[in-house]
A and B are shown apart, each in its own frame.
Chain A
């Protein structure tokens, strides 16, 4: 039964290997990738069902008892993150059929995507700090490959920034791991929760915590470490931009939430105040920078940064309601943001460009694309009754309850500015008539490939349903937050029942 934990990692890894063998046959490679994504989705679904049933699922790899071997752990939070990863991976794989150039498929694009998925799932499920480092590296290497695949100069220039800053993050992460091991003699996260409290010199713990915070801050694009993201993501094809926006920076947020609820809470007055300030600046800088952009992928990239601020705000407040808000924010944002990138790809395919000045009139010709955009964009901006509204409501209410009024005002204002950006895209892409100097206007008669439209409408549908049936989701997130903030049961599950 505990082997359930292995499948979300193993299935995409195996699929990646199989795709390598048949990557010259573009069609077959896509079918195998789809099958792999479906298996991953099924495994993630089964895992979530099992976790809801049993609270925690722990696998001691090789039957080594907990602090000595590597343990894989699924609690509510990690299981739902694996599921959302699987949803995005499946949607993006379907979409890739028409969006990804056959040349990229032959260079192994699908294999890299499967490896990133495996690594992201591994990072969500591991209960060991060094193992987390290894998954980060696997994810990083595969994402490097995807980033430079088209070999355009803009991609190289974006990749140089992405690679160099992430290498620095890697070193900081590794240094923190070394320090933590030196202090406690353990790398198992549950064991660290116990041992960190016994360290004689708490200042050293805080130093290691800050190293980790900077490392994860780089990976999740927090202020002032976010500059690599808008340089790298907008150079990608829409499929990969959606894939990256949904998974990569969110793993950094997950790692922040995991480490700063389970291990580093002793000096919360210091570390979480820093997170709070950083979250505020991240929200503000992301959204203001987005307002100045005129390219869809660039606007969306800056919004990724701004939205990550909300999640970190939830973590920084460290109350059950706030952490539950952060979890819902993560889920909602992964869905909405990935879908907006997919829509930007549809816009480019139908109207010929990602640039707002060069497109227009899509509302008249392609109503379904407009619908997909509208749902996700309004959810992102936080319009009721969509999922973003509830996520924002929880985070803002939690900041009011902890008397951080400035943060509440900032979060609400950033929501308005997000709406401004989304309305800008809506007006330029869908309502404005097609600019006369941009060649052939989009033709209503041209059908949009169902391979591309279906995932967009499906993700929009999930966003809509998430908003309408929010009550069970909120209750789920509250349980997840409770598990995070009261780690006794997590620790007991990992350390206690050793075989």
Chain B
């Protein structure tokens, strides 16, 4: 089972890297989401795949009687999913805004490269954002 999942994780990573490198930022979003899931699967697999019983120690014993899945990586994944979701949301909002302002999400497009459009302060030697 671990072997199958390992191959699957590899495949998802490959697809994610392909999407991320394709040069269109929208595809980067999908690549990022895919890679995030691959990483979560990786952590999940690292915590052993056992589904016979919960990791509970029977009364009058001090250790688990049968191998059980580790619950901690699953808690880590929950945290990672929440964080990943927040990052994905921000990324989408940022790309939407960028598309609205520049009209492109193609990384080779010159419109996406803007070095400096810093407006000069209202008048030289003014105190800027006066309160």
SS of B interface (majority):
helix
Partner of A350, one of B79, B87, B102, B124: B124
Partner of A102, one of B20, B127, B129: B129
Residue of B whose beta carbon sits closest to that of A162? B94
Quick one: given A27-B131, A178-B43, A443-B125, are A156 and B98 in contact (CB under 8 Å)? Answer: yes
Partner of A181, one of B20, B76, B112: B76
Tell me whether A465 is interfacial, beta carbon within 8 Å. no
Partner of B91, one of A154, A167, A441: A167
A163 to B20 alpha-carbon distance, docked (Å): 13
Interchain CB contact under 8 A, A164 and B116: no
Which among A49-57, A92-100, A324-332, A413-421 touches the partner chain?
Answer: A92-100
User: Chain B residues with Cβ under 8 A from A181's Cβ?
Assistant: 43, 46-47, 72-73, 76
Say how far A331's CB is from chain B's closest CB, in angstroms.
Answer: 30
Residue of A whose beta carbon sits closest to that of B42? A178
User: Chain A residues with Cβ under 8 A from B73's Cβ?
Assistant: 178, 181
User: Chain A residues with Cβ under 8 A from B123's Cβ?
Assistant: 440
- B residues 89-127 in Cβ contact with A at 8 Å: 90-91, 94-95, 97-98, 101-102, 112-118, 120-121, 123-127
Residue of B whose beta carbon sits closest to that of A230? B115
Quick one: given A141-B87, A181-B76, are A154 and B128 in contact (CB under 8 Å)? Answer: no
Quick one: given A137-B87, A164-B25, A171-B32, are A154 and B127 in contact (CB under 8 Å)? Answer: no
A235 to B87 alpha-carbon distance, docked (Å): 21
Residue of B whose beta carbon sits closest to that of A186? B72
Say how far B12's CB is from chain A's closest CB, in angstroms.
Answer: 12
Residue of A whose beta carbon sits closest to that of B115? A154
Say how far B130's CB is from chain A's closest CB, in angstroms.
Answer: 7
- B residues 26-42 in Cβ contact with A at 8 Å: 28, 32, 35-36, 39, 42
Interchain CB contact under 8 A, A157 and B98: yes
- A residues 414-473 in Cβ contact with B at 8 Å: 439-443, 446, 449
A134 to B76 alpha-carbon distance, docked (Å): 10
User: Chain B residues with Cβ under 8 A from A144's Cβ?
Assistant: 90, 94
Tell me whether B66 is interfacial, beta carbon within 8 Å. no
A168 to B33 alpha-carbon distance, docked (Å): 11
Say how far A354's CB is from chain B's closest CB, in angstroms.
Answer: 6
Say how far A461's CB is from chain B's closest CB, in angstroms.
Answer: 23
A102 to B47 alpha-carbon distance, docked (Å): 50
User: Chain A residues with Cβ under 8 A from B35's Cβ?
Assistant: 168, 171
A144 to B70 alpha-carbon distance, docked (Å): 34
Tell me whether B80 is interfacial, beta carbon within 8 Å. yes
Tell me whether A26 is interfacial, beta carbon within 8 Å. yes
Interchain CB contact under 8 A, A101 and B129: yes
Interchain CB contact under 8 A, A156 and B91: no
User: Chain A residues with Cβ under 8 A from B101's Cβ?
Assistant: 153, 156
Tell me whether A73 is interfacial, beta carbon within 8 Å. no
Partner of B20, one of A27, A168, A174, A442: A168
Tell me whether A195 is interfacial, beta carbon within 8 Å. no
Say how far B121's CB is from chain A's closest CB, in angstroms.
Answer: 6
- Which of A26, A100, A137, A354 has the most chain B CB within a 10 Å cutoff? A137
Tell me whether A396 is interfacial, beta carbon within 8 Å. no
Say how far B59's CB is from chain A's closest CB, in angstroms.
Answer: 22
Number of interface residues of B (CB under 8 A): 47
Interchain CB contact under 8 A, B39 and A98: no
Say how far A406's CB is from chain B's closest CB, in angstroms.
Answer: 34
Partner of A352, one of B90, B102, B120: B120
Binary CB contact string for chain A from 90 to 116 against chain B (1 if under 8 A, 0 otherwise) = 000000011111101000000000000
Tell me whether A234 is interfacial, beta carbon within 8 Å. yes
Binary CB contact string for chain A from 272 to 296 against chain B (1 if under 8 A, 0 otherwise) = 0000000000000000000000010
Interchain CB contact under 8 A, B42 and A98: no
Interchain CB contact under 8 A, A154 and B114: yes
A178 to B120 alpha-carbon distance, docked (Å): 48
Quick one: given A27-B131, A174-B80, A182-B46, are A154 and B126 in contact (CB under 8 Å)? Answer: no
User: Chain B residues with Cβ under 8 A from A348's Cβ?
Assistant: 121
Quick one: given A134-B83, A157-B113, are A442 and B124 in contact (CB under 8 Å)? Answer: yes
User: Chain B residues with Cβ under 8 A from A84's Cβ?
Assistant: none
- A residues 338-375 in Cβ contact with B at 8 Å: 348-354
Partner of B28, one of A98, A164, A170, A177: A164
Residue of B whose beta carbon sits closest to that of A365? B125
Tell me whether A130 is interfacial, beta carbon within 8 Å. yes
A163 to B94 alpha-carbon distance, docked (Å): 9
Interchain CB contact under 8 A, B116 and A175: no
Name 23 interchain pairs, CB-CB below 8 A, sorted by A: A27-B131, A98-B129, A102-B131, A130-B76, A137-B83, A137-B86, A137-B87, A144-B94, A152-B118, A153-B102, A159-B94, A164-B25, A174-B39, A177-B76, A178-B46, A178-B73, A179-B42, A181-B73, A182-B45, A182-B47, A440-B124, A441-B124, A442-B124
Nearest 7 CB-CB pairings of A with B: A182-B46, A178-B43, A352-B124, A446-B125, A101-B129, A154-B114, A156-B98
Q: A153-B102, A160-B25, A352-B124 are in contact. List 20 more A-B contacts (CB 8 A).
A: A98-B128, A98-B131, A99-B128, A100-B129, A101-B128, A137-B86, A144-B90, A154-B118, A156-B97, A156-B98, A160-B95, A168-B20, A171-B39, A174-B80, A175-B42, A177-B76, A181-B43, A182-B46, A234-B116, A351-B125
